[in-house]
Structure 1
């Protein structure tokens, strides 16, 4: 088979022109299906559903049938563009201006997807007998509730007998310049909602009322006054942030009936959601002392902390990055959550993609030069991973 040459910049532009705002497919997966199928990949488009959530289309593709199997992961869904009039260019135009591709998803993360696809196709064309398989896990639900996306796509693939040895997730990991950072893990996320109940009344007659606000301040103090931990080898200390405190009271002469607060914890690998919830309930219960009436509940979470311990796979990727950029990337676990939290249950995963300075912003964009360099980095990784001389990190 003669494999087509795929220009990663042109593919980035084409993907941006697909209006795939979560949960809409927008033509992005259909485009990847066409490109990968033409290159000899076996492609599956699968849709997942769940009550109360929108249906989501996803894509799984594989070239080869043997181990080792290196899979690239990513998403083609994007956040809404907001007020389009504020954009310099059409957010779904994929315009190149001053050496940058403009549009929603340019860096988060249609550019990263385009680079991995172009790199894989070029590598296969140049190494038709390489020892192993290359796969793609592409979802349309990363920017949404993440219910009908990667987590179910992984389950579907595993049930079919698919096994992965390592994964690269092309999220925009670099803070300032390509080569700055590899993400080798992510913090977990847990959201809590606290309500303190009182008795509404007149401020001039406090003995006939029960103000919940002092109690709320006491409970929040118990949550934030003592650090949760001091951090670990790969993680900063866990942090709890109170994100809203509200009594819904427009009157200055009325004691409110209740006070409500929401908080979120980004936690490290000391904690599980269950152990963290238990500790927070302990703190609140001790501070309440049986004198306060309150409710504390936690939102369900699928975001747990994890780390891919540095080893040959991470070192190989870092070497490819340094060879292309002259920078030795920092190994980090900072930032929010990503689909790596699901992938880590199936194989070691790291994240490396484009510069993320403009992700989710008006005039989101990615440098053309970075798109080409990232493609070269991914191709270098493939060449090292499938080294025919037995030095591959995937060798037993």
Structure 2
């Protein structure tokens, strides 16, 4: 099945693979790869509706490059100019849910691995290539990429480097790559008071008043100064609520939800110490959960990918650690050098998600160039 990256992307968009549905995409990808290069070994997983697949060349080698990504997409919503699961070309763009996030990336690396091995059939004797796909990146991720990596670790199959084709660019493919990600810490504070009638404030303990001026020491505060790679860790309050939505009763308690996208300079323990210091003397509880741990890739992988992008695109990429979390964190947690390279991300998760076909083609060329260099 000799599909080019654009034609494969069109086929992938047509699968309504909202999390955690896989919809048969893995069968298509297996057919594409094994038709061109029949030696792939395959590991599959399925748990709680999540499906993962790992395809790899069988020869054990010193270097093992893994391309990783997800085939699940967020629900499309309403108001599209066309059916979100019918690939549609309009005004120089290809529209469809997953066009940017991230079926474009999957299409680019599947075609690159297929074509590279077809042109270099002996390459797999010196370089193990693999593809890891999950149907649960947009969801909880509990049984997605991290679940498969645990299986690979138990089998001695962890890669030595990884490329995730998340949409990372701002304007055009190759202008930005992610070389790390901040961690994410979710928090909940509950301040306790005493409910009462507003006409008798002396009989009440109003938790809103207890918070009072201390709110300024929580909302939007930087917990560190950041560094050359990371922005400051900022405490961002996302929700404050208390009371019964009436005007004559003071609240009995007040709940605050917040998130910290933390650089390596600030830990979960640092956040706890800071919040407890600000709220010292109040009756409150604090719950913290580290949903992802930050990482930074500084290995030769970054240098090599930057050089490849420069060769293909004519400019070096910006190295970034901004944005939300991704499955790259699971590779980083195991000490596997990982970078994220993809098409622009200006319409991800939006109505009328779209991508320029030339960006998808350029991403394919970047991956082909990288494969040639890493195999040299």
TM category, shorter: over 0.9
The more displaced of 372-381 and 19-28 is 19-28
Q: How many residues align?
A: 371
Distance 1:126 1:92, change over 3 A: same
| Residues 247-266 of structure 1: CA deviation (Å, up to 9, x unaligned) | 14321121111111100000
1-structure distance, mates of 2:364, 2:338: 18
**From 113, 132, 140, the counterpart of 2:106:** 113
2-structure distance, mates of 1:374, 1:284: 44
Kept in 2, the 8 Å contact 1:305–1:341? The answer is yes
1-structure distance, mates of 2:97, 2:220: 40
Distance 1:162 1:346, change over 3 A: farther
Hey, what does 1:150 align to over in structure 2?
145
Within 5 Å, which residues of 2 pair with 1:298-317?
298-299=288-289, 301-309=290-298, 311-317=299-305
2-structure distance, mates of 1:335, 1:239: 13
| Residues 286-329 of structure 1: CA deviation (Å, up to 9, x unaligned) | 33333x21111123x341111001x4321221121122222210
Distance 1:156 1:214, change over 3 A: same
**From 279, 283, 290, the counterpart of 1:293:** 283
Within 5 Å, which residues of 2 pair with 1:218-297?
218-224=213-219, 227-272=222-267, 276=268, 278-290=269-281, 292-297=282-287
Distance 1:38 1:145, change over 3 A: same
Deviation of the 1:48 alpha carbon: 4.0
Hey, what does 2:336 align to over in structure 1?
347
Kept in 2, the 8 Å contact 1:43–1:59? The answer is no
Hey, what does 1:320 align to over in structure 2?
308
2-structure distance, mates of 1:170, 1:339: 10
Deviation of the 1:44 alpha carbon: 2.8
Distance 1:57 1:13, change over 3 A: same
Kept in 1, the 8 Å contact 2:190–2:286? The answer is yes
**From 102, 121, 139, the counterpart of 1:128:** 121
**From 66, 72, 81, the counterpart of 1:71:** 66
1-structure distance, mates of 2:301, 2:278: 47
SS at match of 2:101: helix
Distance 1:319 1:115, change over 3 A: same
Give me the TM-score of the superposition, normalised by structure 1: 0.90
1-structure distance, mates of 2:27, 2:335: 26
1-structure distance, mates of 2:108, 2:161: 18
Kept in 1, the 8 Å contact 2:191–2:285? The answer is yes
2-structure distance, mates of 1:7, 1:74: 19
2-structure distance, mates of 1:305, 1:295: 26
**From 32, 35, 40, the counterpart of 1:38:** 35
SS at match of 1:370: helix
Give every structure 1 segment of 4 or more consecutive aligned residues whose post-TM-superposition deviation is greater than 4 Å: none
**From 6, 13, 17, the counterpart of 1:9:** 6
**1:181 corresponds to 2:176:** yes
SS at match of 2:169: coil
1-structure distance, mates of 2:193, 2:206: 5
Kept in 2, the 8 Å contact 1:181–1:330? The answer is yes
Deviation of the 1:128 alpha carbon: 1.0
Quote the RMSD (CA, aligned, Å): 1.7
Kept in 2, the 8 Å contact 1:184–1:333? The answer is yes
> Where do 5+ consecutive residues of structure 1 fail to align?
388-396
Kept in 2, the 8 Å contact 1:61–1:135? The answer is yes
| Residues 4-40 of structure 1: CA deviation (Å, up to 9, x unaligned) | 5331111111111111100111222222222223232
1-structure distance, mates of 2:331, 2:84: 30
Kept in 2, the 8 Å contact 1:93–1:103? The answer is yes
Within 5 Å, which residues of 2 pair with 1:204-219?
204-219=199-214
**From 382, 387, 392, the counterpart of 2:371:** 382
1-structure distance, mates of 2:18, 2:46: 17
| Residues 46-77 of structure 1: CA deviation (Å, up to 9, x unaligned) | 2343xxxx331011001241322111000001
Kept in 2, the 8 Å contact 1:185–1:332? The answer is yes
